[in-house]
């Protein structure tokens, strides 16, 4: 489960940016195309935060839906998987523009 190491990295990033203050809440953005299971991150979060500045912090996860743009007809559309064709023209020259995110969006500290 790679979510454990990802969650440990998230905790490290939060501690580095908390300025030595206790973290009360963490807001994450996780894209639907990122291959990260938000429920697994939630499960790992409590274990990874024990004894850290984040111990007891609330975790909020915003799930970012996949979106793509077609280079042939310039349509912007939702995607559930990579290599989905454009629903407007059927073309495969598409660029994913959202849904790959994994970022700490916000920290609430004391």
53-64 confidence digits (pLDDT tens):
999 999 999 999
The mean pLDDT of the chain is 95
Prediction pTM value: 0.87
DSSP output for 17-66: HTTTSPEEEEEEEEETTS---HHHHHHHHHHHHTTSTTTT-EEEEEEEPP
The CATH architecture to which 3-65+99-109 belongs is: 2-Layer Sandwich (3.30)
Q: What pLDDT is stored for residue 2 in this prediction?
A: 84
How far apart are alpha carbons 45 and 41 in whole angstroms?
6
């Amino acid at each position: 489960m790679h979510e454990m190491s990802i969650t440990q990295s998230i905790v490290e990033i939060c501690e580095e940016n908390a300025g030595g203050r206790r973290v009360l809440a963490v807001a994450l953005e996780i894209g639907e195309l990122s291959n990260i299971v938000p429920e697994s991150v939630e499960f790992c979060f409590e274990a990874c935060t024990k004894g850290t500045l984040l111990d007891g912090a609330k975790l909020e996860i915003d799930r970012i839906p996949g979106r793509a743009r077609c280079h042939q007809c310039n349509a912007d559309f939702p995607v559930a998987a990579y290599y989905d064709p454009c629903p407007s023209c059927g073309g495969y020259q598409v660029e994913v523009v959202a849904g790959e995110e994994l970022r700490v969006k916000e920290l609430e500290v004391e």
